[in-house]
């Protein structure tokens, strides 16, 4: 089956403090700030790992009431060292609700669960080893 030219470019989440959230994602997960937008009704910061799907941090500036806390959203990150990333999440002000550890029912995959500054769930999955060419 041919690969579809369609793809997910970004996922947006509303945050209570745009700059603090951007600093959290940069420090904890190594994301880079790629763009910023100042629209009539909201400000946005786009963060991504090079060549990967982006996370868009959004903060409404139109005076409308918004709930930025504990929204049931999960962002999944494949990382080479889940334990080190979990430590960075804590240092950056987030929390870990499940420290990274293998899960037998997932074939021993290492999984950790944390929360960012607004309570969004961050799932850490052990990144697969890069395929080597023989």
Q: Distance between CA atoms of 11 and 71, rounded to whole angstroms?
A: 14
Whole-angstrom distance, CA of residue 94 vs CA of residue 115: 6
Report, as an integer, the average pLDDT of 83-95: 98
Residue 86 lies in a domain: yes
Q: Cα(56)–Cα(35) distance, rounded to whole angstroms? A: 9
Q: Pick the residue with more confidence: 35 or 128?
A: 35
| CA 105/CA 90 separation, integer angstroms | 27
pLDDT at residue 130 greater than cutoff 70: no
Q: Give the per-residue pLDDT at 127.
A: 81
Q: Residue 5 domain-assigned?
A: no
pLDDT for 103: 93
Whichever domain contains 100, its CATH number is 3.10.180.10
**Quick check: is 94 in a domain?**
yes
| pTM for this prediction | 0.90
**Could you tell me the two tokens for 49?**
């790992």
Work out the percent of the chain whose per-residue pLDDT is above 90: 85
Question: What range does the domain containing 98 cover?
Answer: 10-126
Quick one: pLDDT at residue 5?
A: 87
Q: Is residue 91 part of a domain?
A: yes
Number of domains comprising the chain: 1
Look at residue 131 and tell me if it is in a domain: no
């Amino acid at each position: 089956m041919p690969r579809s030219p369609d793809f997910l470019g970004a996922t947006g989440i509303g945050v209570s403090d745009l700059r603090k959230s951007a600093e959290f994602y940069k420090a904890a997960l190594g994301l880079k700030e790629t763009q910023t937008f100042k629209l009539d009704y909201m400000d946005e910061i786009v963060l991504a790992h090079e060549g990967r799907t982006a996370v868009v941090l959004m903060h409404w500036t139109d005076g409308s009431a918004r709930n930025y806390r504990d929204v049931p959203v999960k962002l999944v990150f494949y990382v080479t060292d889940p334990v080190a990333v979990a430590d960075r999440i804590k240092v950056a002000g987030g929390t870990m609700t499940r420290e990274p550890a293998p899960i037998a029912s997932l074939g021993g995959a290492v999984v950790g669960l944390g929360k960012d500054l607004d309570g969004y769930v961050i799932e850490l999955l052990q990144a697969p080893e890069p395929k080597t060419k023989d």
